[in-house]
Amino acid sequence: MTESTTIRWEQDESGIVTLVLDDPNQSANTMNQAFKDSIAAIADRAEAEKDSIRGIVYTSAKKTFFAGGDLKDMMKVGPEQAQRAFDTGMAIKRSLRRIETLGKPVVAALNGAALGGGYEIALASHHRIALDAPGSKIGLPEVTLGLLPAGGGVTRTVRLMGIADALLKVLLQGTQYSPRRALENGLVHEVAATPEEMLAKARAFIDTHPESHQPWDVKGYKIPGGTPSNPRFAANLPAFPANLKKQLNGAPYPAPRNILACAVEGAQVDFETAQTIEARYFTELLTGQTAKNMIQAFFFDLQAVNSGANRPQGVAQRPVRKVAVLGAGMMGAGIAYSCARAGIEVVLKDVSADAAQRGKEYSEKLLAKALSRGRTTEAERDELLARITPTADPADLSGCDAVIEAVFEDTALKHKVFQEIQDIVEPDALLCSNTSTLPITVLAEGVSRPVDFIGLHFFSPVDKMPLVEIIKGERTGDEALARAFDLVRQINKTPIVVNDSRGFFTSRVIGQFINEGVAMVGEGADPASVEQAAAQAGYPAKVLSLMDELTLTLPRKIRDETRRAIEEAGGTWAGHPSDAVIDRMVDEFGRTGRSGGAGFYAYGEDGRRAGLWPGLREHFTRSDVTIPFEDMKERMLFSEALDSVRCLEENVLTSVADANIGSVMGIGFPAWTGGVLQYINGYEGGLPGFVARARELAEKYGERFQPPALLVEKAERGEVFTDA
């Protein structure tokens, strides 16, 4: 056996071998080189000592069962290392397969999360038992990192549950199941309440199945639901790529495509060939750029952001017990729900008791839905609702240790509501505003303790959106920042931290995307192509439809205020080519967006979109204008990426991880890019390639595409955007 083994062999007198996964050099077990060597040595020993073995149990000495691939290593694999990556993957697969086919019962005792590689070890076992530990998750989330499960995950799920279920339940969405839901969906065989019960169940399985093997290794086994070689199945098969195509909308996500191909091809060949096919499709993803982008954002950046790289150190944690939410409208109601769900007492205040009550009813609605889907219990629902007290009486806010204001977007009104309550809440209560546009520094002038005042910008719908943008005003103290950070974590959301500035980071940058889409309509581009370009670039919402949702009047108001402020300060207003289009839409055609019943789209009586407004073609589209499709996509992506670099230059942003996470999780910047700055890092030709292309766009479409100095300097120095 190798010296640095990551697996301990513990054999009892009855002949049961427990393989304890326990990498001595890491806090979690991963499929690294050491694991490759260890599992090979284990397979050797199991074969050599077969006669003394009655059964094998995989379990782990770590908090999680097994974490999956080693992502740090994976980030370094370029096309030159493809063969080596392929060989390593195949070697691990072969070892797992040797243990699986030894002829002895193999049980996975999942003591904690088994995601990716962890669940693949479980799949290579004949029996899977999960400990019902809180927060424990089971599944194959590789697709969310731009990869596919290549430790036999595709090959075995297809054989276990059939192509359709494997794709829909496990592979294409990367769903992470709780142990109970994993049981309901056939990912595990049993759930245990305690570690002792789990091991007893493992032992019982071995006692009753002395010669166990996988169902697919039994002669005559048929993959559930059939395979493409069956004519009935083959007839339905084209629907898969078609559905996937529709889902992806042409956006460049290679992983789902490879997963689909791998599942279908692998189902038609023998097990060993299927494993090789899986390794090939995986290596292609691993050596490509999209997986690197997604691993950077959804693993490293997310971890940095959530673990508090931005939180001032030395401020003690003090969980919020009772929060005042001011304003029970769309945002206030959602904030109240999210806080109550995290166990915080909520006093939800509006101008009238009725309005406050309506805000609480929003939680009732969400909970009724969750109950009908089995996502909550009646007891949990009742407890959550009991934590929300609707009121119109400021006196009820006594005892609150945090305030989140979400009244109308009006500085004077916000000042007034804080004045009304600041002497009623706890004397050191954290004071937050959910404003989406007003400067935090100005709002802080209305309270007696500006040092405790901070922006807490939620996104709509609050119960679903995972991000909160924390905005530091000029006078915000470190203590307030740390407490705001902790509050966001307390309600299980992801915080990014930015400095006060017009539109902060998120509203400002998404504005660039929308303006660019609208500008193209103004230049005479076909509006349907503009929408299609946004979809194909990977944006979750098409650009003109998003403009309609936000209304045309709101950005116009912000724009006019910004212009006034700049001119009053003696500056010149550069303007944007979209300005004239928005003005015409509102002033000449009276089209203000969805809430006004007419915008870039037409709307039916029921408020549903009824196609792009035909007037756009008549008044804006020019037959002599064609903007290359690639330019359309990149104008949107570049406009946001370039403005994010300016946010770094202006110190609105202070970290790369914040930029990447904020853009993908807050404002729909396409996930395949890994975020606004990772997009630049991963662009063809790196930073110099990006700079060259930005200059080309500037030449063709306007000076706003000129690369900022920070970007040019970094490109010249051969650097990338990183916090390291």
Binding span for ligand NAI by CB under 6 A among 52-60, 203-211, 343-351, 572-580: 343-351
- 331 is an interface residue for ligand NAI by CB under 6 A: yes
Which of 23/350 has CB closer to ligand NAI?
350
Alpha carbon distance 458, 445 (integer Å): 22
Alpha carbon distance 464, 375 (integer Å): 14
For the CB of residue 335, give the shortest distance to ligand NAI in the complex, in Å: 9
For the CB of residue 193, give the shortest distance to ligand NAI in the complex, in Å: 42
Alpha carbon distance 23, 62 (integer Å): 9
Q: Which of 256, 288, 327, 593 binds ligand NAI (CB under 6 A)?
A: 327
Which of 165/364 has CB closer to ligand NAI?
364
Q: For ligand NAI, what does the binding mask look like between residues 254 and 293, x meaning CB under 6 A?
A: ----------------------------------------
Burial class (CB in 10 A: 0-12, 13-18, 19+), 132: middle
- 506 is an interface residue for ligand NAI by CB under 6 A: no
For the CB of residue 476, give the shortest distance to ligand NAI in the complex, in Å: 18
Q: At what angle do helices 153-161 and 271-286 cross, to 10 degrees?
A: 130
Q: For ligand NAI, what does the binding mask look like between residues 528 and 547, x meaning CB under 6 A?
A: --------------------
Contact call for residues 414 and 453 (beta carbons, < 8 A): no
- 351 is an interface residue for ligand NAI by CB under 6 A: yes
CA angle 41, 47, 49 (to 5 degrees): 100
For the CB of residue 438, give the shortest distance to ligand NAI in the complex, in Å: 7
User: Nearest CA to 404 among 506, 501, 331, 493?
Assistant: 331
H or E stretch covering 222: none
Dihedral angle sign, alpha carbons of residues 304, 309, 311, 316: positive
φ and ψ of 591, to 5 deg: -105, 110
For the CB of residue 248, give the shortest distance to ligand NAI in the complex, in Å: 27
Which of 361/478 has CB closer to ligand NAI?
361
Please tell me whether residue 64 adopts helix, strand or coil conformation: coil
Q: How many CB atoms lie within 10 A of CB 568?
A: 8
Q: Which of 75, 82, 251, 330 binds ligand NAI (CB under 6 A)?
A: 330
Q: Which of 111, 212, 391, 435 binds ligand NAI (CB under 6 A)?
A: 435
Q: For ligand NAI, what does the binding mask look like between residues 441 and 480, x meaning CB under 6 A?
A: ----------------xx-x--------------------
Tell me which residues in 361-420 interact with ligand NAI (CB under 6 A).
406-409, 413, 417
- 109 is an interface residue for ligand NAI by CB under 6 A: no
Instruction: Name the DSSP letter for residue 296.
Output: I
- 91 is an interface residue for ligand NAI by CB under 6 A: no
Q: At what angle do helices 527-537 and 543-550 cross, to 10 degrees?
A: 100
Of all residues in this chain, which one has the CB nearest to ligand NAI in the complex? 329
Alpha carbon distance 259, 134 (integer Å): 30
User: Nearest CA to 644 among 577, 576, 690?
Assistant: 690
Strand 106-110 and strand 127-131: the pairing is parallel
Binding span for ligand NAI by CB under 6 A among 113-121, 278-286, 429-437, 706-714: 429-437
Binding span for ligand NAI by CB under 6 A among 346-354, 541-549, 609-617, 633-641: 346-354
Alpha carbon distance 139, 116 (integer Å): 6
Binding site for ligand NAI (CB under 6 A): 326-332, 349-351, 355, 406-409, 413, 417, 434-436, 457-458, 460
